[in-house]
Amino acid sequence: MPNTIVIIVFIILCACLLTWLLPAGSYDRVENEQGVNKFISFAPILVVISYSLGLDSIVGVACLCLGGAVGFSTGTLVVSTTVTAQKIAELPLYSGIEFRFVCWAVFLAVTILYIVRYAKKIKANPSLSPMYDLDRDNPLQASADLESFGPMTLRKWLVIASMVIGLACIAVGGIAFGLDTQEYAEIFIWMAIVSGLCAGLTFSQIAKQFAEGASKMLGTMLIVGFARAIAGVLEAGTIVDTVVYALAKGLAVVPVFLQGPAMFFANVIINIFITSGSGQASAVMPNNVELFYTPICRKSSCRHFKGPFI
């Protein structure tokens, strides 16, 4: 199978080709980027915990991404998606919240059962994991050996306390003060320095450990950077909104009884190009409301708009 970076480069080339084939165009926007990608920085922590429990990296990432996807896709109280879409559709704010709570409970139950079932299977036979060979070569797995960890000491408790305080600052800062990815990175750097001092390391040792840790994540960072180039090419060619407009207008020719499912699958495709929750609501909802301008259909358009965030 080709390397992940090779696949991403191929997709980038396809995106470049689309900029020549599709006419350019864009909607007017107000800059207010929202998304769920900020919690990805916690993935290495959960992956190491997963390794230490005898599981694979998929379990660690699933606990993070699927948990966030359940809350974001059901949109029970999400301002950047649910409220934005309902304002555009001229619906009462948080209308249909009972339905979304039911969806949240069902989605969460199914997700928990799926992760637990998969974790039990991998715990019983690690070779069944799709990541088995890659996880064996992952440097993070070497640091997840609990047997060599030794007894808990005061310094280790201080390291844990510094991590908890840092994560609390990220959570509170993101909710109350609107901190973004750049500020999160700064907090993580301070966490590394304080944790190193609590562990009794010198500044030189902290810098060396930081460089070694960063080198283990270099492959992942390259993949993220290359993947971001796909959206960059589409945005620079101003064809993202062209795709959105074509998909939205195509719904008008779909039979009435299939318009709901068609709207859902159209938003699945649009979500590939627009990952921002409020950005997708602003781009999609005006077209959806124009096509289905009745109270029931407006509610349906909001619900189908939410679905692709799974």
The mean-pLDDT minimum among 15-29, 207-221, 295-309 falls in 295-309
3-state secondary structure 274-310: CCCHHHHHHHHHHHHHHHCCCHHHHHHHHHHHHHHHC
Q: For the segment 35-73, what is each residue's pLDDT rounded down to a tens digit?
A: 555 566 677 778 888 888 888 888 988 888 888 888 877
- CA distance linking residue 92 with residue 98, whole number of Å: 14
Contact 85, 302 (CB under 8 A): yes
The mean-pLDDT minimum among 29-38, 51-60, 189-198 falls in 29-38
Contact 51, 57 (CB under 8 A): yes
What average pLDDT does this structure show over 12-22? Answer: 81
At 12, the amino acid letter reads I
Average pLDDT of the chain to the nearest whole number: 75
- The two structure tokens encoding residue 268: 């699945």
Contact 243, 22 (CB under 8 A): yes
What average pLDDT does this structure show over 127-156? Answer: 75
Structure pTM?
0.55
Q: For the segment 250-296, what is each residue's pLDDT rounded down to a tens digit?
A: 766 777 667 667 777 777 776 666 655 555 555 566 555 555 544 44
At 9, the amino acid letter reads V
From the CB of residue 105, how many other CB atoms can be counted at a distance below 10 Å? Answer: 13
Chain center to CA of 208: 30
* Closest of 148, 123, 126 to residue 135, by C-alpha: 126
Q: Which residue has the tokens 């909104």?
A: 241
- CA distance linking residue 303 with residue 305, whole number of Å: 5
Residues sharing a CB contact under 8 Å with residue 241, sequence separation 6 or more, in sequence order: 25, 26, 27, 283
From the CB of residue 203, how many other CB atoms can be counted at a distance below 10 Å? Answer: 10
